Each structure stands twice: as C-alpha cells, then as structure tokens.
Chains A and B, each alone.
Chain A
Amino acid sequence: MFRTAARRLLGAGFTTSRLLRLPKPRPTTIIPYSYCTSSTESPIGNQSVNPNQSDTAREEGHRRDESSRKPRAEFEEEQARVLAASLRHVPRLGWTEEAMIAGSRDVGVSPSIVGSFSRKEAALVEYFMDDCLQLLIDRVDSGLDLQNLIPSERVSKLVSIRLEMQIPYMSKWPQALSIQAHPVNVPTSFKQRAMLVDEIWHTVGDGASDLDWYVKRTVLGGVYSTTEIYMLTDDSPEYRDTWAFLDDRVKDAFDLKKSIQEAKYFAQDIGAGVGKSFQGLMNGVMQTMSTRGGRSSAF
C-alpha cells in the first residue's frame, strides 16, 4: 500500500529502503521529549533539531535536514545492527532476549540496550519480517523473470521465494508465529503481512483499487499463512510438498475468483430472466386492468 502510493507520488526513482522502518506503535504512557516530534525513537543530542517535522514526511522517505537526521539515525542504526547480529543466534537460542543479548555482544554494545527495545522479542521478529520483505523487493527489482508465467504461477513463485527466506529459522519459526500472535504485537504483524501481500500482488501486475483489492489481498493472505503453517511440519526433501501445497492453493484461489465471477453472471442472468417474466406479467395485468377499466367507464 505504501509502495504503490509512494510510486504514484514520487515516480519510478523512489527507493523503498527507508519505508520499511515502520513507525513503532506509540505506548500510551510514554511521553517523548518534545524535541522529537514524530517518533519515540528520536534521540536528543543535537541542538539544531528541526521542530517542524510532520508525519507525512516520514512516509516519503525521511528526507530531512542533515543535522536532524544524524542523531536519530544513530540510535536506529545501532538498533538495526544489534538485531541483525542477533538473527545469527536465533537458530540456537530462539527468538528471545538471550539471542538479542548475544547479538549486542557481537556488535560491541552493552546488552543493556536490549532493555530499551519496545516489546523485545517482537522487535526481533518484526525486524526479520521487514528484512525479508526488503530482500523480496530487491530480488524483484534486480530482474526476476516473471514474463513467461501466468499470474497464478507468478504468485506461487513470489510466495515461495519469500517462504524460502524462513528456512534457516524453521526450527524456531513456531515461536516467531506465537510472538506475532500476541495481542500487543498483532497490529504490527498484521501490517507487515498486509504490506507483504500488497507487494506480491503489485509485482504480479494487479492495479485494481476497488472492492476487489481487499478480496485479493485477503485471499492471498490466507494462502500465504496456510502455506507457512504447512511448511512448519513438512520434512520432505527441499520442501517439495510445501510447494505442491502452495500451487494447489493458488490454483484454488484463482478458480475461486473464476467461480465467483461465474456465480455473479449466473445471478445476473437469473435476475434478468425473472425480471423479464415479472415485467411481462405486470404488463399483462396493467393491460387487462386498463381495458376493463375502459369498458366499465363506459357505463
């Protein structure tokens, strides 16, 4: 959604790398220092912070004064670095604070910094989801060949590319899913999945913006989630069963779309037919009534 909107606003030269640093939901009790007007994560260390930052500017890629960008970027960069280093420990330690502490040690920062991440393990999972989305976008941008494929195959291919990124973490992925399902974390994880699904449809070449848009994304969201869960228990070589499952589901989804279309036309036809016969009946009734009325008025 952001990518398509941003494309429309800014044209093809737009880079998406900054977009995916989603604004963290603001907790209700924490009041940020007023110099940081747009997020809780802006550090203060620089006297020349621009106080006129607006929220819309954030979506357009953080194009700001250099002076105000530096202090904010430092903490976020540090956070990103720690999270990236933590991912290496996840297969062994899980999506936990221990992994993040180990990651911070790798970067050379005191593990206390982990205490400052909001919703700690969720921060790690969300970082990973953002990272994968970015990798997917990069893959697509760097010339993934989709021309010779029909839409359903394109969808399959993109979903499989994205799911393959999770393979190294597959042993701990159920934990990540449960973290994403916590009520506190649901808004962000939902948003990330929505962006992912939107990105896939956008790449497949869909430009719809009516009710269809929601239906398509919901259906693809369902396909993605079920395949993801299927993958958790799949131990066929190279996840062949998962890809077969995915292909079937995508085919069903497209067939569903066709079936809905057909059902719509069918209903319209019936409606037309019933309408015609009803109209004919009414006309007949009116005629008889008018002739009868005419005759009776002669009296």
Chain B
Amino acid sequence: MALRLLSRRTLGSRILSYRASLHSHATSFGFQQVKEEEKSKLVGNVFTNVASSYDIMNDVMSAGLHRLWKERLVGKLSPFAGMKHLDVAGGTGDVAFRIFDAVNSVKRRALRKVDEASLEETQIYVCDINPNMLNVGKQRAADRGLRDNKSLVWVEGDAEALSFDDNSMDGYTIAFGIRNVTHIEKALAEAYRVLKRGGRFLCLELSHVDIPVFKELYDLYSFQVIPNLGELIAGDRDSYQYLVESVRRFPPQERFAKMIGDAGFEKVEYENLVGGVVAIHSAIKL
C-alpha cells in the first residue's frame, strides 16, 4: 500500500525529494505532502480498508459520543417532510438514517399535522466516493428493513463534482468527510451550487482544541491511543495515523468559517462540541 512507502521514519528525506518535484499543486495527506492526484487515491485506499470496521472504530474512538454529535447535527438541521436532502461522504448512512427517522417518526407525525403526500416526497441522497462504504450503508439499510424504501437513495459520487442539479437540495450535510477532500473550496462551491435558496449547509468535523490542559490530553489520546486501537480492532494502524494527522491539518474553526463564507454562504456560524474536538459549522444559501 502506498502508505507503507511513505513511512514516517524516512519522512525527512522523502519530503526533501518530494519538495523538489512538487510545484504549487501539493496537498497534505496527514502530515505528509503528496501530489494532489495521489491524495484521493490514498484516501480511497484508507476507506476501502476501514469500511467494514468503520462504525465500530467510531464507537471505540469517541466512546460512543459520535452518536450524540450526529444527533446534534440532525437536530440543527430540523428536517421536514418532503425535503430533498444530500448527505455527502455519508457512506455508512449514520446521518441519513437519523434524518429519515426524524422525518418519519410516528411521534412526530402524531404531534404535528403532516401531509402524508409530502412524506412520500422526502428524498435523502447518500453520496460517497467509495463504493465499499456505500455497500456497508446499503447493508445497514437492509437490516433496518429499508432496502426498498424510495426515500433513501445511495449514489456514488465525488464531493468536488456532484452529479446533482443546481438548486435542487433543501439540505446538505457532510459529517467527518470534508477533511478528506482534496480541494475543500471545490466541495464548498458544489454544496453552494446544489442547494436551493434558503437551503442549509451543515458540516460536522473534527476540529481544533484550544483549551490548555485539555489540548495536551487530546493530543496524547490522538497520537498514542488511536493508532494502537486501529491496529487492535481494525488491523490497520496506518489508516488511523492518517486520520489523526488529517484532523490536525484541517483548517481551524474560524478559517473554515471564512472559507464557507467565501463560497457564498450567509449566516455562517459554528458550534464547538467537547471543547473543540468536534465543530458543527452551519450556513445558509440565500
């Protein structure tokens, strides 16, 4: 696997030789610099490897907290019946299932007057670049009895070049996916393009912690514990090393908010959860 070639021990010399051959089109793959064309391949490899144990690893790494974070994300979205929603990089379907449940829950239907016809119109598109992740998601849908449900649509696609029409989506979410994208600005531009007027953009992502003591603890946990867990549970240390490095390379909250604003969005806000370990950025297209 390409990752093994770029092992950290020989990083110094590799980086020097890479720098010679790199021009302005370099990007980061964790703490390593790689050519852009390679990044998506490398990321693809990472997720192909982790797909089957993705959900378990999420639970172990975040001690189950990732479920709460996703609940919060969906709560902020406030899904409504009849909405067209796009969940990007949502391979295994966590967010999509939550949105589906939120719209179709019996309790919600009892409390509010919901038009049954509009319930039929609800469409939740799950887009992921990696077919393995999508397959895991489809399997989970089948397990829940939603295999043939028209509301959930599984689409293979690239966040930087979506196959959806302009102004077609009421909501766009991307949970723990945007740091894996090679050109974040392109993904944001695509998000802006597919959203309708008044549509919301929501991004849940691991972000930067500034709180003094907590930061050190978090770094310790990230670099010492997580790769070992990856090795133990998923049998893949390198992928999880990539994971924690890519989190550090991702822009901090303020800068990412600025990037969202530059893409054309209005009312850009972010909310830190667990002191900044995770941040939910939200914005509206007007």
Contact = CB atoms under 8 A, between A and B. Distances in A.
A115 B77 contact: yes
Interface residues of B, number: 35
A74 B265 CA distance: 12
Contacts of B227: none
Interface stretch (B12-20, B211-219, B236-244, B268-276): B268-276
A111 B80 contact: yes
Nearest to B196: A110
B200 A112 contact: yes
B266 A112 contact: no
Contact of A30 (B113, B254, B266, B269): B269
B221 to A, nearest CB: 22
Contact of A97 (B80, B83, B198, B269): B80
Contacts of B195: 110
B131 interface: no
Contact of A33 (B113, B269, B284): B269
A75 B80 contact: no
Contacts of B79: 115
B265 A112 contact: no
A149 interface: no
Q: Which of B200, B269, B271 has the most CB of A within 10 A?
A: B269
A78 B198 contact: yes
Contacts of B264: 45
B80 A44 contact: no
Q: Which of B197, B200, B266 has the most CB of A within 10 A?
A: B266
A74 B266 contact: yes
A113 B77 CA distance: 9
Interface of A: 29-35, 40-45, 71, 74-75, 78, 93, 96-98, 101, 104, 108-116, 120
Interface of B: 76-80, 83, 112-113, 170-171, 195-200, 253-254, 257-258, 260-261, 264-273, 282, 284, 286
Given A44-B261, A97-B78, 19 more contacts: A33-B261, A33-B269, A43-B267, A43-B268, A44-B257, A44-B258, A45-B264, A45-B265, A75-B266, A104-B198, A110-B196, A110-B199, A111-B198, A112-B80, A113-B198, A113-B199, A114-B78, A115-B200, A116-B267
